[in-house]
Structure 1
Amino acid sequence: MSNGTIDWALDLRVRITTLLDNTITGTVYAFCQTTNTITLIEDPPAEQSTTTDSNTKPLRPNYRIIKTSFVRDVTTLSRPKKTTIPPSAASIAQGTPHRDAFARAEPPIGPVAVAQLNAKAEAAVAAERKRRARIGVGVTKEAQAFFDLLSNTVPSIWHGKSIIAMEEVRIDPPYTPESCLADDPDSAALRYVKRVVEGTREKLAHTNSQIKGG
């Protein structure tokens, strides 16, 4: 089936029955033969479609993407209001290549900013990696609470059950100033992290005492 053969279906209002006997009513927005999916703009709920308040903002359309293999039955409810032949249909009738099958889709189909989407995906992956680096595996709740408070002051990540602070200081359990190690025992970073660790433990002890005291 060529793209041109499904151009006539755009804007049809249909009711789709799925293999699970669920019904979805809406307007055909797009059809993808690569993924074998049909996209509908769902009809709004009855209570929303009857709203006449002029101050009410128009609802954003809700799109449903359905695999064609999941469709049991399709019933046409109404045809598009437009009666003009779209340029794509005319080009097919003339034997010219079909290049704008979705030219009359509403809302219009705009270009996809692939670079922007890739940047968002990369940022999301980086954020997830950063989030996971802040969650200790196999550590106690007290250790995680210590890490959370410590990382508010110095950059920290988990390395097994140890904590790496400022990329050069390792804090081993039980996370005391004495359990802080660095390649250079006289480094300023080590001295600083020890002070922060001591302060963090004092804050946690104070918080825990308040909780126990009620």
Structure 2
Amino acid sequence: MADTKRNNAAGKVATPKPAGAPAASPMLDTLEALGKAIGARIKLTTAAPHSQTYEGTLFTACPMLNVVAINTRSPTSGSGADVSAQPGDYHIIPVSRVQSFQIIALAGGAESSDSSIASSQPAIGTVDVKRLRHREEERVRKLKDEEKNMGKGVTKEAQAIFDSFKRINMPIRWHNQEMIVHEAVIIAPPYRSEDCKGAKDKQEVLNRVKKVLEGEKRKLKEREERERKTATPTGPRKGG
């Protein structure tokens, strides 16, 4: 009888519960609280180091992706306007980045009330497709310009010279490893003033390009010298 009890006890493994274990993570608590405020107008602040505050209508709080979407576009008419008919400017924010949020007004313009948060309904705004398409086209154009302005197989100094011409708004483009300025002057490697070539009827433009090139190369050299001096460590001063 005693042996049987000892054998039964030996087959059981005690599983201690960790002391003070939280019932849910802070992120889940934040997501649950935001889920009850869908449709409300809120002010949400993200955590450091890139802290930012958003104010707008809480569109959704997704428990699967752990993100919230907030529409910061203000209604184009009075407070009584149908929010669902208004265009949107949406921001997707990970819940882990949410530092704090404050409910300003519930759906329909009512003031914040803890008792009615759970009953608030989402105000779904229409997406401004035209504006999104414009932003997409602008981004694509910018990426194409950046790609076009990057020299292929050129030195860091050559790219710096090219960028300096762009900064002072002189028309310049790459043709293989040569720079074409004003569609009239060719700057060939290694990009010195004597490497500039132009037609006989473009001597004035050629001289101007040479002068700019010499000035920019001088500035680059001075900048490199300053950076080298700054990077050179100095020994400890003697005498305290």
TM-score, normalised via structure 1 length: 0.49
Greater radius of gyration (CA): 2
